[in-house]
Protein backbone atom coordinates (compact mmCIF):
# COMPACT_ATOMS: atom_id res chain seq x y z
CA UNK A 1 0.00 0.00 0.00
CA UNK A 2 1.90 3.02 -1.31
CA UNK A 3 -0.90 5.58 -1.52
CA UNK A 4 -4.55 5.90 -0.55
CA UNK A 5 -5.74 4.71 -3.96
CA UNK A 6 -4.12 1.31 -3.35
CA UNK A 7 -6.54 0.60 -0.51
CA UNK A 8 -9.51 1.09 -2.84
CA UNK A 9 -8.26 -1.55 -5.28
CA UNK A 10 -7.66 -4.01 -2.44
CA UNK A 11 -11.06 -3.27 -0.85
CA UNK A 12 -12.81 -3.96 -4.16
CA UNK A 13 -11.40 -7.51 -4.02
CA UNK A 14 -12.09 -7.99 -0.33
CA UNK A 15 -15.65 -6.69 0.00
CA UNK A 16 -18.90 -8.07 -1.43
CA UNK A 17 -20.05 -6.01 -4.39
CA UNK A 18 -23.06 -4.45 -2.58
CA UNK A 19 -20.90 -3.26 0.34
CA UNK A 20 -18.13 -1.93 -1.89
CA UNK A 21 -20.78 -0.30 -4.09
CA UNK A 22 -22.21 1.51 -1.09
CA UNK A 23 -18.83 3.00 -0.12
CA UNK A 24 -17.66 3.81 -3.64
CA UNK A 25 -21.01 4.88 -5.04
CA UNK A 26 -22.09 8.39 -5.96
CA UNK A 27 -25.18 10.01 -7.41
CA UNK A 28 -26.51 9.36 -10.90
CA UNK A 29 -23.84 9.94 -13.60
CA UNK A 30 -20.96 10.60 -11.16
CA UNK A 31 -20.59 14.18 -12.43
CA UNK A 32 -20.09 15.66 -8.96
CA UNK A 33 -17.82 12.79 -7.93
CA UNK A 34 -15.55 13.31 -10.93
CA UNK A 35 -15.88 17.07 -10.68
CA UNK A 36 -14.32 16.98 -7.24
CA UNK A 37 -11.20 15.37 -8.68
CA UNK A 38 -11.16 17.67 -11.72
CA UNK A 39 -11.16 20.73 -9.47
CA UNK A 40 -7.94 19.62 -7.80
CA UNK A 41 -6.39 18.72 -11.16
CA UNK A 42 -7.13 22.20 -12.51
CA UNK A 43 -4.83 23.81 -9.93
CA UNK A 44 -1.05 23.78 -10.26
CA UNK A 45 1.53 24.27 -7.53
CA UNK A 46 4.27 26.88 -7.80
CA UNK A 47 7.46 25.92 -5.97
CA UNK A 48 9.98 28.10 -4.16
CA UNK A 49 13.59 26.89 -3.95
CA UNK A 50 16.63 27.21 -1.69
CA UNK A 51 14.45 27.54 1.39
CA UNK A 52 15.62 25.86 4.61
CA UNK A 53 12.86 23.32 5.11
CA UNK A 54 14.78 21.09 7.52
CA UNK A 55 12.59 22.08 10.47
CA UNK A 56 9.24 22.17 8.69
CA UNK A 57 6.17 21.07 10.63
CA UNK A 58 2.74 19.83 9.55
CA UNK A 59 1.21 20.51 12.96
CA UNK A 60 -2.05 22.44 12.80
CA UNK A 61 -4.17 24.00 15.52
CA UNK A 62 -7.95 23.73 15.19
CA UNK A 63 -10.48 24.71 17.86
CA UNK A 64 -7.70 25.05 20.42
CA UNK A 65 -6.16 21.62 19.82
CA UNK A 66 -2.92 20.93 17.96
CA UNK A 67 -3.10 18.03 15.53
CA UNK A 68 -0.23 16.24 13.82
CA UNK A 69 -1.35 17.21 10.32
CA UNK A 70 -4.09 19.34 8.71
CA UNK A 71 -6.46 16.50 7.82
CA UNK A 72 -8.89 14.19 9.55
CA UNK A 73 -11.26 11.28 8.99
CA UNK A 74 -14.60 12.35 7.53
CA UNK A 75 -17.85 10.71 8.71
CA UNK A 76 -18.57 7.50 6.81
CA UNK A 77 -21.84 5.69 7.42
CA UNK A 78 -21.97 1.91 7.93
CA UNK A 79 -18.22 1.67 8.58
CA UNK A 80 -18.86 -1.40 10.73
CA UNK A 81 -20.34 -3.19 7.72
CA UNK A 82 -17.09 -2.92 5.76
CA UNK A 83 -14.70 -3.63 8.65
CA UNK A 84 -15.09 -5.39 11.97
CA UNK A 85 -15.96 -2.67 14.53
CA UNK A 86 -15.19 -0.17 11.82
CA UNK A 87 -16.09 3.02 13.73
CA UNK A 88 -13.99 1.85 16.69
CA UNK A 89 -11.06 1.12 14.37
CA UNK A 90 -11.26 4.58 12.77
CA UNK A 91 -11.49 6.26 16.16
CA UNK A 92 -8.55 4.32 17.59
CA UNK A 93 -6.37 5.04 14.57
CA UNK A 94 -7.17 8.74 14.70
CA UNK A 95 -6.32 8.91 18.39
CA UNK A 96 -3.04 7.07 17.88
CA UNK A 97 -2.00 9.31 14.96
CA UNK A 98 -3.35 12.55 16.51
CA UNK A 99 -5.80 13.55 13.81
CA UNK A 100 -9.54 14.25 14.27
CA UNK A 101 -12.15 11.62 13.50
CA UNK A 102 -15.79 12.44 12.83
CA UNK A 103 -18.20 9.63 13.69
CA UNK A 104 -21.17 9.30 11.35
CA UNK A 105 -24.72 9.44 12.63
CA UNK A 106 -25.51 6.64 10.14
CA UNK A 107 -23.36 4.17 12.08
CA UNK A 108 -23.89 0.69 13.45
CA UNK A 109 -21.99 1.12 16.73
CA UNK A 110 -23.34 3.19 19.59
CA UNK A 111 -21.79 6.63 19.81
CA UNK A 112 -21.09 6.04 23.51
CA UNK A 113 -18.74 3.16 22.63
CA UNK A 114 -16.75 5.23 20.15
CA UNK A 115 -16.10 8.16 22.48
CA UNK A 116 -14.76 5.72 25.08
CA UNK A 117 -11.86 4.78 22.78
CA UNK A 118 -11.31 8.33 21.51
CA UNK A 119 -12.40 11.07 23.90
CA UNK A 120 -11.67 13.72 21.24
CA UNK A 121 -13.83 12.18 18.49
CA UNK A 122 -16.39 14.45 16.85
CA UNK A 123 -19.99 13.37 16.25
CA UNK A 124 -21.86 14.11 13.01
CA UNK A 125 -25.66 14.21 13.14
CA UNK A 126 -28.40 14.05 10.55
CA UNK A 127 -31.24 15.97 12.15
CA UNK A 128 -34.45 14.08 12.87
CA UNK A 129 -37.54 15.63 11.35
CA UNK A 130 -39.20 16.88 14.52
CA UNK A 131 -38.07 19.07 17.40
CA UNK A 132 -38.53 16.57 20.29
CA UNK A 133 -36.30 14.02 18.53
CA UNK A 134 -33.73 16.71 17.67
CA UNK A 135 -33.55 17.74 21.32
CA UNK A 136 -33.31 14.13 22.50
CA UNK A 137 -30.47 13.32 20.08
CA UNK A 138 -28.47 16.42 21.01
CA UNK A 139 -28.90 15.64 24.70
CA UNK A 140 -27.69 12.09 24.13
CA UNK A 141 -24.57 13.26 22.29
CA UNK A 142 -23.87 15.80 25.01
CA UNK A 143 -24.31 13.22 27.78
CA UNK A 144 -21.88 10.88 26.01
CA UNK A 145 -19.12 13.47 26.38
CA UNK A 146 -18.53 14.65 22.82
CA UNK A 147 -17.01 18.12 22.57
CA UNK A 148 -17.58 18.80 18.87
CA UNK A 149 -20.89 18.34 17.08
CA UNK A 150 -21.14 18.41 13.28
CA UNK A 151 -24.55 19.04 11.73
CA UNK A 152 -24.86 17.85 8.12
CA UNK A 153 -27.35 20.03 6.22
CA UNK A 154 -27.14 18.88 2.58
CA UNK A 155 -29.61 15.99 2.93
CA UNK A 156 -33.13 17.55 2.89
CA UNK A 157 -34.27 14.45 0.97
CA UNK A 158 -32.57 11.12 0.25
CA UNK A 159 -30.49 11.08 -2.95
CA UNK A 160 -31.25 9.09 -6.06
CA UNK A 161 -30.18 5.58 -5.00
CA UNK A 162 -30.12 3.99 -8.45
CA UNK A 163 -26.39 3.21 -8.30
CA UNK A 164 -26.76 1.55 -4.90
CA UNK A 165 -29.57 -0.55 -6.37
CA UNK A 166 -27.41 -1.51 -9.35
CA UNK A 167 -24.73 -2.71 -6.90
CA UNK A 168 -27.33 -4.73 -4.97
CA UNK A 169 -27.21 -2.52 -1.87
CA UNK A 170 -30.15 -1.43 0.22
CA UNK A 171 -30.50 -0.24 3.82
CA UNK A 172 -31.46 -2.51 5.46
CA UNK A 173 -29.94 -5.26 3.35
CA UNK A 174 -32.54 -7.70 2.03
CA UNK A 175 -31.61 -11.40 2.32
CA UNK A 176 -31.40 -12.98 -1.13
CA UNK A 177 -29.58 -15.71 -3.02
CA UNK A 178 -27.38 -13.07 -4.65
CA UNK A 179 -26.45 -11.53 -1.31
CA UNK A 180 -25.68 -14.97 0.12
CA UNK A 181 -23.48 -15.75 -2.87
CA UNK A 182 -21.58 -12.48 -2.41
CA UNK A 183 -20.88 -13.48 1.19
CA UNK A 184 -19.78 -17.00 0.31
CA UNK A 185 -17.43 -15.76 -2.42
CA UNK A 186 -15.86 -13.23 -0.04
CA UNK A 187 -15.04 -15.47 2.94
CA UNK A 188 -12.60 -13.08 4.62
CA UNK A 189 -15.36 -10.48 4.90
CA UNK A 190 -18.05 -13.06 5.75
CA UNK A 191 -16.14 -14.63 8.64
CA UNK A 192 -13.86 -11.77 9.63
CA UNK A 193 -16.44 -8.98 9.62
CA UNK A 194 -20.09 -9.95 9.29
CA UNK A 195 -20.40 -13.26 11.15
CA UNK A 196 -17.83 -12.16 13.74
CA UNK A 197 -19.97 -9.10 14.43
CA UNK A 198 -23.21 -11.09 14.66
CA UNK A 199 -21.70 -13.71 16.98
CA UNK A 200 -20.09 -11.20 19.33
CA UNK A 201 -22.52 -8.28 19.21
CA UNK A 202 -25.72 -9.44 17.54
CA UNK A 203 -27.22 -8.19 14.28
CA UNK A 204 -26.07 -4.57 13.84
CA UNK A 205 -28.66 -1.79 13.99
CA UNK A 206 -28.62 1.86 13.01
CA UNK A 207 -27.71 3.14 16.44
CA UNK A 208 -27.31 6.91 16.23
CA UNK A 209 -29.81 8.55 13.88
CA UNK A 210 -32.01 9.16 16.91
CA UNK A 211 -31.76 9.03 20.67
CA UNK A 212 -33.14 5.49 20.42
CA UNK A 213 -32.10 2.45 18.42
CA UNK A 214 -33.08 2.23 14.76
CA UNK A 215 -33.60 -0.52 12.19
CA UNK A 216 -31.38 -3.61 11.85
CA UNK A 217 -28.91 -3.68 8.98
CA UNK A 218 -30.24 -7.05 7.74
CA UNK A 219 -33.98 -7.58 7.45
CA UNK A 220 -36.41 -8.98 4.85
CA UNK A 221 -39.19 -6.50 5.69
CA UNK A 222 -38.13 -3.74 8.11
CA UNK A 223 -37.90 -0.26 6.62
CA UNK A 224 -35.31 2.26 7.78
CA UNK A 225 -36.90 5.46 9.08
CA UNK A 226 -35.81 8.36 6.87
CA UNK A 227 -37.36 11.35 8.59
CA UNK A 228 -38.71 14.10 6.38
CA UNK A 229 -36.23 16.96 6.73
CA UNK A 230 -37.71 19.13 4.00
CA UNK A 231 -39.27 21.56 6.48
CA UNK A 232 -36.10 22.12 8.54
CA UNK A 233 -34.66 25.64 8.40
CA UNK A 234 -32.26 27.98 10.19
CA UNK A 235 -34.53 28.10 13.24
CA UNK A 236 -33.63 24.48 13.94
CA UNK A 237 -29.94 25.26 13.67
CA UNK A 238 -30.42 28.14 16.13
CA UNK A 239 -32.17 25.69 18.48
CA UNK A 240 -29.16 23.37 18.35
CA UNK A 241 -26.84 26.28 19.07
CA UNK A 242 -28.82 27.02 22.23
CA UNK A 243 -28.74 23.37 23.28
CA UNK A 244 -25.12 22.57 22.44
CA UNK A 245 -22.44 23.96 24.79
CA UNK A 246 -19.43 22.72 22.81
CA UNK A 247 -17.97 23.38 19.39
CA UNK A 248 -20.62 23.43 16.66
CA UNK A 249 -19.69 22.78 13.02
CA UNK A 250 -21.99 22.89 10.00
CA UNK A 251 -21.24 20.54 7.10
CA UNK A 252 -22.54 20.61 3.53
CA UNK A 253 -22.17 24.31 2.69
CA UNK A 254 -21.52 25.33 -0.94
CA UNK A 255 -22.81 28.92 -0.98
CA UNK A 256 -21.08 31.86 0.70
CA UNK A 257 -24.46 33.29 1.67
CA UNK A 258 -25.36 30.15 3.61
CA UNK A 259 -21.93 30.15 5.21
CA UNK A 260 -22.44 33.69 6.48
CA UNK A 261 -25.91 32.84 7.81
CA UNK A 262 -24.44 29.82 9.62
CA UNK A 263 -21.76 31.90 11.30
CA UNK A 264 -24.27 34.56 12.31
CA UNK A 265 -26.42 31.76 13.79
CA UNK A 266 -23.53 30.58 15.95
CA UNK A 267 -21.52 28.06 13.90
CA UNK A 268 -17.95 27.74 15.16
CA UNK A 269 -16.73 26.18 11.92
CA UNK A 270 -17.81 25.30 8.38
CA UNK A 271 -17.10 22.22 6.28
CA UNK A 272 -17.46 23.01 2.59
CA UNK A 273 -18.71 19.76 1.05
CA UNK A 274 -20.91 18.23 -1.64
CA UNK A 275 -21.14 14.97 0.30
CA UNK A 276 -18.46 13.34 -1.82
CA UNK A 277 -20.74 13.52 -4.85
CA UNK A 278 -23.32 11.29 -3.16
CA UNK A 279 -26.24 13.77 -3.07
CA UNK A 280 -26.86 16.16 -5.99
CA UNK A 281 -25.17 15.10 -9.21
CA UNK A 282 -23.78 18.20 -10.88
CA UNK A 283 -23.20 20.05 -7.61
CA UNK A 284 -20.15 22.30 -7.80
CA UNK A 285 -16.88 20.98 -6.40
CA UNK A 286 -16.18 22.40 -2.93
CA UNK A 287 -12.68 23.50 -3.95
CA UNK A 288 -14.13 25.88 -6.55
CA UNK A 289 -16.33 27.76 -4.07
CA UNK A 290 -13.91 27.57 -1.14
CA UNK A 291 -12.21 30.98 -1.66
CA UNK A 292 -15.52 32.85 -1.68
CA UNK A 293 -16.69 31.13 1.49
CA UNK A 294 -13.40 31.88 3.23
CA UNK A 295 -13.76 35.55 2.31
CA UNK A 296 -17.34 35.61 3.60
CA UNK A 297 -16.41 34.06 6.95
CA UNK A 298 -13.02 35.44 8.03
CA UNK A 299 -13.58 34.82 11.72
CA UNK A 300 -14.11 31.03 11.75
CA UNK A 301 -12.16 28.03 10.47
CA UNK A 302 -13.39 26.90 7.07
CA UNK A 303 -12.70 23.23 6.30
CA UNK A 304 -13.26 21.08 3.21
CA UNK A 305 -14.04 17.52 2.22
CA UNK A 306 -15.02 15.69 -1.00
CA UNK A 307 -12.38 14.33 -3.34
CA UNK A 308 -9.24 14.74 -1.22
CA UNK A 309 -6.95 11.82 -2.04
CA UNK A 310 -3.38 13.15 -1.94
CA UNK A 311 -1.22 15.38 0.18
CA UNK A 312 -1.09 17.78 -2.77
CA UNK A 313 -4.91 18.00 -2.67
CA UNK A 314 -4.76 19.02 0.96
CA UNK A 315 -2.12 21.65 0.21
CA UNK A 316 -4.20 23.13 -2.61
CA UNK A 317 -7.19 23.44 -0.28
CA UNK A 318 -5.04 25.02 2.43
CA UNK A 319 -3.61 27.49 -0.07
CA UNK A 320 -7.15 28.49 -1.03
CA UNK A 321 -7.97 29.27 2.58
CA UNK A 322 -9.12 26.01 4.16
CA UNK A 323 -7.92 25.44 7.69
CA UNK A 324 -8.34 21.68 7.49
CA UNK A 325 -9.47 18.93 5.11
CA UNK A 326 -11.27 15.65 5.71
CA UNK A 327 -10.90 12.33 3.85
CA UNK A 328 -13.63 9.69 3.85
CA UNK A 329 -13.73 6.68 1.53
CA UNK A 330 -9.98 5.83 1.54
CA UNK A 331 -9.90 5.34 5.31
CA UNK A 332 -12.97 3.11 5.10
CA UNK A 333 -11.19 1.03 2.45
CA UNK A 334 -8.08 0.85 4.64
CA UNK A 335 -10.14 -0.42 7.58
CA UNK A 336 -11.76 -3.05 5.36
CA UNK A 337 -8.43 -4.33 4.09
CA UNK A 338 -6.14 -4.17 7.13
CA UNK A 339 -8.18 -3.02 10.12
CA UNK A 340 -6.49 -0.72 12.62
CA UNK A 341 -3.04 -1.13 11.10
CA UNK A 342 -4.45 -0.29 7.67
CA UNK A 343 -6.03 2.96 8.82
CA UNK A 344 -2.86 3.97 10.67
CA UNK A 345 -0.86 3.18 7.53
CA UNK A 346 -3.21 5.31 5.40
CA UNK A 347 -2.95 8.22 7.83
CA UNK A 348 0.83 7.95 7.82
CA UNK A 349 0.95 7.93 4.03
CA UNK A 350 -1.10 11.13 3.94
CA UNK A 351 1.11 12.74 6.58
CA UNK A 352 4.23 11.87 4.58
CA UNK A 353 2.80 13.25 1.37
CA UNK A 354 1.90 16.57 2.98
CA UNK A 355 5.32 16.91 4.61
CA UNK A 356 7.19 15.95 1.43
CA UNK A 357 5.16 18.29 -0.73
CA UNK A 358 5.64 21.16 1.70
CA UNK A 359 9.38 20.60 1.41
CA UNK A 360 9.28 20.72 -2.37
CA UNK A 361 7.14 23.86 -2.26
CA UNK A 362 9.47 25.58 0.17
CA UNK A 363 6.83 25.89 2.90
CA UNK A 364 8.00 25.41 6.47
CA UNK A 365 4.62 25.49 8.23
CA UNK A 366 0.97 24.94 7.41
CA UNK A 367 0.28 28.59 8.18
CA UNK A 368 2.78 29.59 5.47
CA UNK A 369 0.76 27.85 2.72
CA UNK A 370 -1.18 30.51 0.81
CA UNK A 371 -2.35 31.35 -2.70
CA UNK A 372 1.14 32.43 -3.77
CA UNK A 373 1.89 28.71 -4.20
CA UNK A 374 -0.95 28.25 -6.71
CA UNK A 375 -1.51 28.60 -10.45
CA UNK A 376 -3.95 29.90 -11.53
CA UNK A 377 -5.02 32.51 -9.01
CA UNK A 378 -8.17 31.83 -6.95
CA UNK A 379 -10.03 34.35 -9.12
CA UNK A 380 -9.03 32.52 -12.28
CA UNK A 381 -9.97 29.19 -10.78
CA UNK A 382 -13.45 30.40 -9.85
CA UNK A 383 -13.98 31.45 -13.46
CA UNK A 384 -13.17 27.95 -14.64
CA UNK A 385 -10.08 26.27 -16.13
CA UNK A 386 -10.51 27.65 -19.65
CA UNK A 387 -10.75 31.25 -18.46
CA UNK A 388 -7.86 30.66 -16.10
CA UNK A 389 -5.62 29.49 -18.92
CA UNK A 390 -6.46 32.56 -20.96
CA UNK A 391 -5.72 34.81 -17.97
CA UNK A 392 -2.44 32.97 -17.32
CA UNK A 393 -1.39 33.32 -20.95
- The residues carrying an active-site annotation are 275
Q: Quick count: other Cβ atoms within 10 Å of Cβ 142? A: 16
Instruction: Find all residues with CB under 8 Å of 88, minimum gap 6, and list them.
Output: 80, 109, 113, 114, 117
Burial status of residue 385 (CB atoms within 10 A of its CB: 0-12, 13-18, 19 or more): middle
Of 130, 148, 134, 51, which is closest to residue 94 (Cα–Cα)?
Answer: 148
Query: Could you give the 3-state DSSP secondary structure of residue 53?
Result: coil
343, 89 contact by CB (below 8 A): yes
DSSP one-letter code for 208:
S
- The string of DSSP codes covering 293-359 is HHHH-TTS-EEEESS--SHHHHHHHHHTT-SEEEE-HHHHHHHHHHHHHHHHHHHHHHHHHHHHHHH
Q: Where are the alpha helices (DSSP H) in the chain?
A: 4-14, 17-24, 31-41, 79-82, 86-97, 111-117, 131-144, 162-167, 177-184, 187-189, 195-201, 234-243, 256-264, 286-296, 311-319, 329-361, 378-382, 385-392
Whole-angstrom distance, CA of residue 239 vs CA of residue 235: 6
Amino acid sequence: MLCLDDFEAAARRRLPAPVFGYIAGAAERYRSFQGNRDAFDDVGLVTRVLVDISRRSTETTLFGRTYASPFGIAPMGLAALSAYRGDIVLAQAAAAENVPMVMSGSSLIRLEEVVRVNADAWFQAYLPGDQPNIVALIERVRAAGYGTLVITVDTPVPPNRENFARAGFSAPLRPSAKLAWEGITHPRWLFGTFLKTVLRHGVPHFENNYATRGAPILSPNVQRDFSDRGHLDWRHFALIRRLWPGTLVIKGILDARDARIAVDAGADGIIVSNHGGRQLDGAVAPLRVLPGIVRACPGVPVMLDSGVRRGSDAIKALALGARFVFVGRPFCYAAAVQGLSGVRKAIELMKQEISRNMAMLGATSVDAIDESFLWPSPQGMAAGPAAARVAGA
